[in-house]
A and B are shown apart, each in its own frame.
Chain A
Amino acid sequence: MSVRNITPVKEFEDILPKEYKDLVNKGPFNNKKSVDDLGTFKEIIEEHPHCAGCGVSLGIRLALASLPSPEDSLVVGTPGCSFFALSQSAVNYSNTAFGNQNAVATGLKRMLQIRYPDKHKDVIVMVGDGGIADIGLDLTLHSWFRKEKITTIMLDNEVYGNTGGQESGMSMKGRVLNMAPTGKKFDKIPVFDMAEVSGCVYGARVTVANPKKVGQVVRNAILIAREIGPTYVQIFTPCPTNMKFPPDQTIKIAKEAQKDQYSYKEFMTDEVAEYLKNI
């Protein structure tokens, strides 16, 4: 894990497929990039099999474009739609058994700290709302209680997208879904508030309708996790397929949510506030 992993042996440079040449020469590894640069560089993820208008894939695209050191980053995922784009991304990626992401990430982070004591290796969990709020809730909270220095990013489409539309703990109360025909009976689980009381030192709640903000909070969250403690970013990533809206309305739906359940929220400890002043 270092920029050497994306440095070709000279003799083999010519035979690399164009995509890899572009990653080496125009990618984010040798020249640092951000969300502001989208469209001008070879991205870590480009082609993927997500549905048209998929909010999850947009959330992944924005988050991956915001990694402060992609060559020293390890993304940890779990079953869910996010797996499709993440497994095709040009960044170290590990999948886990459903819900185990923060436990696996803990092990990987600790191992990397032992193996590379003088370097920052960023471990970033990127999974769906079902993966965090339902099936992985215990392991997620415990990693926060233990103050593991990892960043957890929830790609919240408010549904189990991958399995065809079951309600998740993050679905809105009353929401009718393919497999919740009478509507959800209880409120969205307040994972964002739970992150704060469970030990996260920084948290931000954003939507894909605000790419700049997503880029900024993801970057902050990763940098803070290096130095201070666990961080959490919750991104609203609407799902046209399950919410049954036209695929060109994703941003509009996300914008509307910013006036409702997805108003911008951020929390940080005093130590983090101090730290952010200096970066």
Chain B
Amino acid sequence: MQISNYKVTAGPEGFIAPSAADMGVILPNKGQALVEGSITSENEGMDKAIEKLISAKNPVFFPGPLVLWNWKDGVEEKAKAVIELSKTIGAKIIPMPDYRPKYPMINPEVEINPNHPNLTIWHNKIDVCVFVGVHCHYANVALKIIRGGTDCYTISLCADAGHEDSMVSIRDINTEKINTLTEIARQMKARGK
């Protein structure tokens, strides 16, 4: 089902970017993905994510607390898969270890803060970024701020139902799906795309 033609494209969308959900964008069902506000198959979504990442000038992964800290069994494997994927793409990693506001200011060269994600994006001139292991309610806020103030293309690898406010969103992400993304990246690179 598609109830809107609203395009979730890279910003800057303005100081208070409308939330994509407000504009009629709905979340994908299992097996589906979101690409720029439209529902696609998961494969299509994965292809689009990798295409954007390998053609980016400065792609960066933002692993959140759910993959940075070894809080439950299985996280270690997922973290390894994320590192493998970022290496295959040649992307940098900037962590988001927690969500505390920082005083006097975070250092955008070494960490991203969901309260001021655009700082990181601007200082590092990041053109494509990936959210992974970030709690949904913080990802929602940070993705809106990034889209509001910057021209960064955002990709969310979400362990739950996905994010309307990222340009590409893959849902139900797990170690296996991250490995699939790595495989797609290898193949695309081999084809010289």
Contact = CB atoms under 8 A, between A and B. Distances in A.
Contacts of A89: 100
B13 interface: no
Interface residues of B, number: 25
B70 A88 contact: no
B114 interface: no
Interface stretch (A12-20, A137-145, A159-167, A257-265): A12-20
A11 B101 contact: no
Interface of B: 63, 67-72, 75-76, 79-80, 83, 93-95, 97-98, 100-104, 107, 110-111
B76 to A, nearest CB: 6
A7 interface: yes
B100 A90 contact: yes
A15 B93 contact: yes
Interface in A15-59: 15-18, 20, 47-49
A9 B75 contact: yes
> For this complex, into which size category does the number of interface residues on chain A fall?
20 to 34
7 contacts: A9-B68, A9-B69, A9-B75, A11-B76, A11-B79, A18-B110, A88-B101
Contact of A49 (B97, B103, B110): B103
A6 B94 CA distance: 18
Contacts of A8: 68-70
Given A10-B76, A16-B95, A16-B97, A88 B103 contact: yes
A17 B111 CA distance: 7
Contacts of A87: 100-101
A244 interface: no
Nearest to A13: B68
Contacts, number: 62
A129 to B, nearest CB: 24
A100 to B, nearest CB: 20
Nearest to B98: A90
A115 interface: no
Given A9-B75, A12-B63, A4 B70 contact: yes
Contacts of B80: 11
B79 A9 contact: yes
Interface string A213-234: 0000000000000000000000
A6 B69 contact: yes
A88 B100 contact: yes
A182 interface: no
Contacts of A6: 69
Contacts of A88: 100-103
Given A9-B76, A12-B67, A47 B103 contact: yes
A278 interface: no
A20 B113 CA distance: 14
Given A88-B102, A88-B103, A89-B100, A12 B71 contact: no
A9 B97 contact: no
Contacts of B104: 47, 49
A267 B95 CA distance: 47
A260 B68 CA distance: 50
Nearest to B95: A15
B124 to A, nearest CB: 14
